Amino acid sequence: MSLAPRSLTILGSTGSIGTQTLDIVERLGDAISLNFITCNTKASELAAQVRRYKPRGVALREEEAWRTFKQLCPEFTGPVLCGEEGLCEAAGHEGNDVVMSAMVGFSGVVPTMAAIQRGCVIGLANKETLVSAGAVITAAAKEHGAQIIAVDSEHSAILQCLVGEDVSTIEKIIITASGGPFRSFDHDALRTVTAAQALRHPNWTMGAKITIDSATLMNKGFEVIEARWLFDLPAEKIDVVVHPQSIIHSMVQFTDGSMKSQMGVPSMLVPIQYALSFPTRYPLDVARVDLAALGSLTFEHADVDRFPCLRIAYDVLRTGGTTPCIVNAANEVAVAGFLRGDISFVGIPALLERTLEHMKSVDQPSLSDILDADSEARRISTSLLNA
């Protein structure tokens, strides 16, 4: 069995998911050809990727980075696109079969929409796209015939559990969480958490922003919202359970009481390759689970009292409208402030709630409403942070 050749564009090729996607591209050989790779500012890293992986074109969001790339890589004869327009042109290019949306944060929304409007298969690692604009994105995917395949390990696990199943028999899905580095911390200990501590995730190696989100459980809250749109389920059918070993990546419980789980060592290479080859499964040289060596797998309830970001995510999912977008924008501001030392760890959820109090939600938003809400939430949360 062989994978039919597919042309791939990677949005955010210099980030954690982007570089691992390039690793998979190299492993799959002629099955994947690179169309465009893109980044925001990392011109030198992009130039190195161009020399190694030979894409047909590139795009850089920042003009200064675009100029730097042209100086660093004068031998490159393919298109060198610039700005958000350039990213959207790359994402919506007629040569794309698959687009890996691996940009960080809200910046991925508009380019991902461009890929959807082209009718591509979307490997979605940018969860903020569905968190902020789930209704708009899924409606556009249906209109244009685009298929969205989750790259998050949890949602990929759910997808794998649902292969061959009737979705009407789903009783609930159970998203697992490692609990992060502060799973056992009490309220007082959480008040003194530093950025350096929060960046040391016990199981996964990820970018700084998502690592902080994992520590606050905001990332898990975003995954709940993302799951609502990916699998068309209400909040009441989406649970979170803490599983410190991160071996079971998520589970599905069915109406007959049966439960399926997907297991594996913590590695993003597996869900990335699965998204690129779906529905086919291909060999992959990663470590295997040794159940006897593990001895036991444990589970705990997620504590929304100590980690209120998860509760906030459920609240805004039920409220709907632009409230998830508002929380996503405020969280990006809060995490950046925490990494700079401008706000405490427990100040992150507090800033989200204060921002929500200062804004009015649009019930049935358009993409324009989403963009406006994001901009206003950033302005307000920044003002509150600096007050």
Task: Tell me if 84 is assigned to some domain.
Answer: yes
> Is 48 in the same domain as 118?
yes
Mean predicted confidence (pLDDT) in 19-36: 95
Task: Report the mean per-residue pLDDT for the chain.
Answer: 94
> Is 114 in the same domain as 185?
no
Which of 109, 124, 150 corresponds to the end of one domain? 150
pLDDT at 95 over 90: yes
CA distances from 66 to 9, 63, 71, 229, 361 (A): 18, 5, 9, 35, 37
> Is 301 in the same domain as 327?
no
Please enumerate in sequence order all residues whose Cβ is within 8 A of that of 366, keeping only pairs 6 or more positions apart, or say none.
136
pLDDT at 206 over 70: no
The predicted-structure confidence for 35-74, as pLDDT tens digits, reads as follows 999 999 999 999 999 999 999 999 999 999 999 999 999 9
Task: Tell me if 273 is assigned to some domain.
Answer: no
Task: Tell me if 279 is assigned to some domain.
Answer: no
Task: Tell me if 281 is assigned to some domain.
Answer: no
pLDDT at 207 over 80: no
Tokens, residue 42:
């990392």
Residues 192, 258: contact at Cβ < 8 Å? no
Residue 4: band (very low, low, confident or very high) from pLDDT cuts 50, 70, 90: confident
pLDDT on residue 3: 66
Domain with 139 in it: what CATH number?
3.40.50.720
pLDDT at 305 over 70: yes
> Is 169 in the same domain as 307?
yes
Q: What is the Cα–Cα distance from 373 to 361, expressed in whole angstroms?
A: 8
pLDDT on residue 12: 97
The predicted-structure confidence for 151-185, as pLDDT tens digits, reads as follows 999 999 999 999 999 999 999 999 999 988 888 89
> Angle at Cα 328 formed by Cα 194 and Cα 334, nearest 5°?
30
Task: Tell me if 284 is assigned to some domain.
Answer: no
> Is 227 in the same domain as 84?
no
Highest-confidence segment of 9-18, 100-109, 209-218: 9-18
- Counting residues of the chain whose pLDDT is more than 90, the rounded percentage is 88
> Is 343 in the same domain as 233?
no
> Is 343 in the same domain as 312?
no
pLDDT at 1 over 70: no
Domain with 326 in it: what CATH number?
1.10.1740.10
Task: Tell me if 51 is assigned to some domain.
Answer: yes
Residue 104: band (very low, low, confident or very high) from pLDDT cuts 50, 70, 90: confident
Tokens, residue 61:
């969001």
Which of 93, 122, 150 corresponds to the end of one domain? 150
Q: What is the Cα–Cα distance from 312 to 184, expressed in whole angstroms?
A: 21
> Is 191 in the same domain as 84?
no
Q: What is the Cα–Cα distance from 123 to 274, expressed in whole angstroms?
A: 9
Q: How many domains does the chain have?
A: 3
> Angle at Cα 24 formed by Cα 18 and Cα 30, nearest 5°?
120
Mean predicted confidence (pLDDT) in 83-99: 97
Least confident among 27-31, 39-43, 117-121, 203-207 = 203-207
> Is 306 in the same domain as 325?
no
Q: What is the Cα–Cα distance from 187 to 169, expressed in whole angstroms?
A: 40
Task: Tell me if 278 is assigned to some domain.
Answer: no
Which of 84, 118, 150 corresponds to the end of one domain? 150
> Is 100 in the same domain as 110?
yes
pLDDT at 342 over 90: yes
> Is 75 in the same domain as 182?
no
pLDDT on residue 353: 97
Task: Tell me if 62 is assigned to some domain.
Answer: yes
Residue 2: band (very low, low, confident or very high) from pLDDT cuts 50, 70, 90: low
Domain that includes residue 260, residue range: 153-267+291-318
> Is 295 in the same domain as 187?
yes
